[in-house]
Chains A and B, each alone.
Chain A
């Protein structure tokens, strides 16, 4: 059994974007997935759209386009290979297996990613599949798309960005890129989380909720992770840090004044 990980954020975003811009005649869009292999897992990092036409009877895609753009992408992002393809919509039919066959020439086990942009199940479901052959050898053969597990991963910077977009999705107003506002929103988040925990603890104490050992252990860990130093050391530490910061602020203030004076030279020269 293989785990397939991926950074779905960008790829799925691409699918959605592609879907929104499709020609009205197409019911779904496809594209190539790029990524790399890492000890039995596939990491999907990027993707790009491929033009294709599909009617009930036939399907066609621009294979030359896929190859060309694939080559270009490989030049610029040097360690990304084709690892599969995506399509919008949850339907997998014979057309999918045809397209899958094309991608089989490009990589050994292509991964097929579907993003349900039509909300067949009340939410945008993301699935990954690989194709396995079934059937009787010599008789009727075919292939079946079996779902594979995936996890969503991201680097630190991506996580920060996602957190930033968090506020965006509920109320359409865009948050500012101001540092202080981001800090404030993070603090309020933390506060609400603390309140939640506190609520739960109160309920457990009053007996209205059955205590959970696992949860209790984790809470103990959290409480104990605060370093237990005596007040003198902590005050000293914090004060020295505070002094460093204030000194630096004073220095920057001086620097700004010097810059302003310096700029006056241009008036004199």
Chain B
């Protein structure tokens, strides 16, 4: 019975919740930013993704990401093939130079938090199935340009993972039984940056790169406008979903009415026939003729709610910082 919460064949895997923290080296972060920048220069489409490599430190409950390599965007079919070959080749080659070759997840860049869609969910799921500690790292290039380096790590929460394993689309009863809401669909894992000592020395050496003042830009850019637009479109989606629910409810109600009517008609007919002395007609099972409409898939609305919630969070952060910066600017100009 799929609507009950726990599937007996899939016991609680102890490793699923074992990662408390993700440690990324600055090397990996630089590679991700550079890849994103490179794609941006090439085709104004900052969607990049790539594979993360590293190792798991079970004693400390830490996942270390030590290396990464970029993948091409899967726009043409041959790109997917090339990607696969590339991954295998890289795995083999990295082994030769003693780089950790175990894939621990993937990274993806996002545009104003729109990464959270079905594809993303599918990818996270695929990686999790292979390795229960896999993570997805999301990098926000827009926010980084505005001065705040933004790297976050996500994975599917345990109930979401279990549910997605059974059904590719959720229904409301499943969500209720597993107490899954848009808030606990994904779990965020804190990210720390850790460098080796030699890398620290190198960072000191290249300190002469020009200082960035991007962090102190006033919040008057179009970033806020764009975020609001995204928020509006997200709310449109939610509204459409509500209308769909309404329609669905109405259909279900109508069907039930029709069913009831037919049963009544049959009963009256039978009563009439009894009076006439004829054999009563069998009371057919009308419910076979009137199949109820299928339950609505709730995965898409869940994802869009998640997206909107993340937008709100982003906007709030931006606004809070913005107010601080405005006061700062005020003190300069007065």
Contacts and interface: CB of A to CB of B under 8 A. Distances in A.
B214 A159 contact: yes
A210 interface: no
Contacts of B99: 17, 21, 49
B219 interface: yes
B266 interface: no
Nearest to A46: B34
B181 A263 contact: yes
A242 B326 contact: yes
Interface string B233-246: 00100100010010
Given A190-B216, A226-B333, A126 B152 contact: no
B200 A177 contact: no
A165 interface: yes
A242 B207 CA distance: 36
A72 B90 contact: yes
Interface stretch (B8-16, B25-33, B123-131, B276-284): B25-33
Nearest to B216: A186
A266 B328 contact: no
Nearest to B203: A169
B26 A13 contact: yes
Contacts of B203: 162, 165-166, 168-169
B229 interface: no
A141 interface: no
Contacts of B7: none
B19 to A, nearest CB: 16
A197 interface: no
B76 interface: no
A106 interface: no
Contacts of B69: 76
Contacts of A263: 181-183, 305
A249 B319 contact: yes
Interface string B197-212: 0111111111111111
A77 to B, nearest CB: 7
A77 B211 contact: no
Nearest to B24: A174
Contacts of B271: none
Given A182-B149, A229-B333, A263-B182, A161 B33 contact: yes
Interface stretch (A62-70, A92-100, A131-139, A199-207): A62-70
Interface of B: 25-27, 29-31, 33-34, 36-38, 42, 66-67, 69-72, 82, 86, 89-90, 93, 96-99, 141, 143-145, 147-152, 172-173, 175-176, 181-183, 191-196, 198-216, 218-220, 224, 228, 231, 235, 238, 242, 245, 295-296, 298, 301, 305, 308-309, 311-312, 315-326, 328-330, 332-334
Interface of A: 7-10, 12-14, 16-23, 45-46, 49-51, 62, 65, 68-69, 72, 75-79, 115, 117, 119, 123-126, 152-166, 168-169, 174-175, 177, 179-180, 182-183, 186-187, 190, 226-227, 229, 231, 234-235, 238, 241-242, 244-246, 248-249, 251-252, 255-256, 258-259, 262-263, 265-269
15 contacts: A17-B196, A21-B98, A45-B34, A46-B34, A62-B96, A155-B34, A160-B214, A161-B29, A168-B26, A183-B215, A238-B330, A241-B220, A251-B231, A255-B231, A265-B172
